[in-house]
Amino acid sequence: MSQKVTLVGGGLAGSLLAIFLAKKGFKVSIYEKRPDMRGSDYEGGRSINLALSERGLRALRKLGLDKEVLDIGIPMRGRMMHDLQGQLKYQPYGHDGQAIYSVSRGLLNIKLLQMADSMENIEMFFDHDCTGVNLEKAETSYTNKAGEPVEDKADWVIATDGAYSAVRKAFQTSGRFNYEQKYEEHGYKELEILANAEGDFAMNKNCLHIWPRKSFMMIALPNPDATFTCTVFMPFKGDPGFDDLKTRSEIEAFVTEQFPDAVPVMPNVLDDFEKNPVGSLVTIRTFPWLRGKTALLGDSAHAIVPFYGQGMNCCFEDCSDLDFCLGETDNNMMEALEMYQERRVKNANAIADLALKNFTEMRDWVGQPEFLARKAIEHDLSELYKDEYKAQYELVTFADVTYKEAWDRGFENDRLIDRIIEDKLESKIADRPFMLRLFKEYLS
């Protein structure tokens, strides 16, 4: 008889993992706290969007879901930086038209739930709020919509209930559980750029737009309805800071000065700024991820800040990595979870560090001449030496190496570029034999 796995949380990680496990022959029960997204009057493309890149796509491809998901995505082939005068600077992300995809979180989640629902060995329960877990016995308790208690017994429980995981609470009180939650000084607030008078995108839709302002920034990702969802990242306390931007006139002065080219297509900006909440940015690290018959996966195990666009991609890679481990262990869930934990934790730590590092980069450096010069060298190296040189962004976003390897190789790249700048070797970048020798010296 097939073993039953209960997934607490039916978000992106939970619904994708359910499909992986069902395909491996497990019976899967998903318990989700929120109502069924497919039933509620879902608002289409204007809600939060996410950047889907190669790691996430690779996981979807394993299940034959990549094409369907790409259909609802908008390719972004580079960053478009907006300065204080509204002037633009463009940097491609990769080469040969490599792109990341702006995807609606809601639409993607619905697609995955639909797929899961079509499989015989997956059952789903919505409006079920997890109230307790017995880690050793794989027993979980819930309160349903009617307020009634519901009990579930499985062979395994996997927490896919996100950064504020209810399952993780049981880990935290079970003794000798390493746990860290670390908040940024910055928070975030969402705003929107509307379509122009003709109903078209008001800016180039195939970019991720950035207004880098050193201590803060705004970014914008395109939606299918020709709008952009903007996010302002700014300290709570600071100059400027969310805590001190209170009156409409203060807000108006701020956005007009800082985002002069965007404000004309943000007619609701003052209302949105006043009304929309300020979210927090947290990095969560945990260990172990497995205790008794219960495991943590995705954001419940490792929440990261959004600055590398890798949160969802990392969770999807978690799922396909666990799928890989099940393959390696002949579907022995205990061995697979142990192997998964062993392989995965260093990568989760690496992407957490990468995301924090990229925040500084996006805010502080993107607009700086020295940074742009480094990026220009890196771009030339990537273009001329596609097989021999990979920028860290490329390794994280497009390549098939682990996050840990991307982290380590970033240091090698830095030292190589330091050398090029120090010894003024920019003119030699096209000299292939010379550069291959230099690579040998710096790159592993």
Which residue, 336, 303, 310, 294, is CA-closest to 21? 336
72 vs 67, 68, 108, 371, 413, CA distance in Å? Answer: 9, 7, 8, 34, 35
CA atoms of 218 and 63, how far apart (whole Å): 35
Q: Tell whether omega for the bond before 260 is within 30 degrees of 0, i.e. cis.
A: no
The minimum distance between CB 136 and a copy of itself, in angstroms, equals: 16
**Closer CB to a copy of itself, residue 171 or residue 201?**
171
The minimum distance between CB 282 and a copy of itself, in angstroms, equals: 8
The answer to the question of residue 175 lying near a copy of itself (CB under 8 A) is yes
Total number of residues binding a copy of itself (CB under 8 A)? 13
- Chosen residue from 68, 180, 243, 418 binding a copy of itself by CB under 8 A: 180
Restricted to residues 222-241, the positions that interact with a copy of itself (CB under 8 A) are 236
**Closer CB to a copy of itself, residue 243 or residue 441?**
243
- Chosen residue from 151, 176, 247, 387 binding a copy of itself by CB under 8 A: 176
- Chosen residue from 178, 249, 427, 444 binding a copy of itself by CB under 8 A: 178
**Closer CB to a copy of itself, residue 65 or residue 281?**
281
Work out the number of other CB atoms within 10 angstroms of the CB of residue 234.
24
The minimum distance between CB 130 and a copy of itself, in angstroms, equals: 16
The minimum distance between CB 338 and a copy of itself, in angstroms, equals: 14
Q: Which stretch binds a copy of itself (CB under 8 A): 180-188, 251-259, 355-363, 420-428?
A: 180-188
The answer to the question of residue 214 lying near a copy of itself (CB under 8 A) is no
**Closer CB to a copy of itself, residue 92 or residue 235?**
235
Restricted to residues 254-283, the positions that interact with a copy of itself (CB under 8 A) are 280, 282
Q: Which stretch binds a copy of itself (CB under 8 A): 81-89, 173-181, 203-211, 374-382?
A: 173-181
Q: Which stretch binds a copy of itself (CB under 8 A): 122-130, 175-183, 213-221, 247-255?
A: 175-183
**Closer CB to a copy of itself, residue 177 or residue 324?**
177
CA atoms of 396 and 58, how far apart (whole Å): 13
The answer to the question of residue 244 lying near a copy of itself (CB under 8 A) is no
**Closer CB to a copy of itself, residue 183 or residue 434?**
183
Question: Between 403-422 and 333-360, two packed helices, what is the crossing angle to 10 degrees?
Answer: 30
440: tokens are 């040998």
- Chosen residue from 63, 70, 139, 177 binding a copy of itself by CB under 8 A: 177
Restricted to residues 276-335, the positions that interact with a copy of itself (CB under 8 A) are 280, 282
**Closer CB to a copy of itself, residue 64 or residue 175?**
175
Q: Are strands 156-159 and 4-8 parallel, antiparallel or unpaired?
A: parallel
CA atoms of 68 and 436, how far apart (whole Å): 41
The minimum distance between CB 180 and a copy of itself, in angstroms, equals: 4
Restricted to residues 141-170, the positions that interact with a copy of itself (CB under 8 A) are none
The minimum distance between CB 177 and a copy of itself, in angstroms, equals: 7
For the chain, state the CA radius of gyration.
Answer: 23
- Chosen residue from 131, 181, 196, 256 binding a copy of itself by CB under 8 A: 181
**Closer CB to a copy of itself, residue 177 or residue 442?**
177
- Chosen residue from 67, 137, 182, 246 binding a copy of itself by CB under 8 A: 182
Restricted to residues 421-440, the positions that interact with a copy of itself (CB under 8 A) are none
Amino acid at 327: G
418: tokens are 């330091």
192: tokens are 């929107």
**Closer CB to a copy of itself, residue 42 or residue 164?**
164
The minimum distance between CB 183 and a copy of itself, in angstroms, equals: 4
Q: Which stretch binds a copy of itself (CB under 8 A): 74-82, 150-158, 176-184, 373-381?
A: 176-184
Q: Would you tell me which residues interact with a copy of itself (CB under 8 A)?
A: 172, 175-183, 236, 280, 282
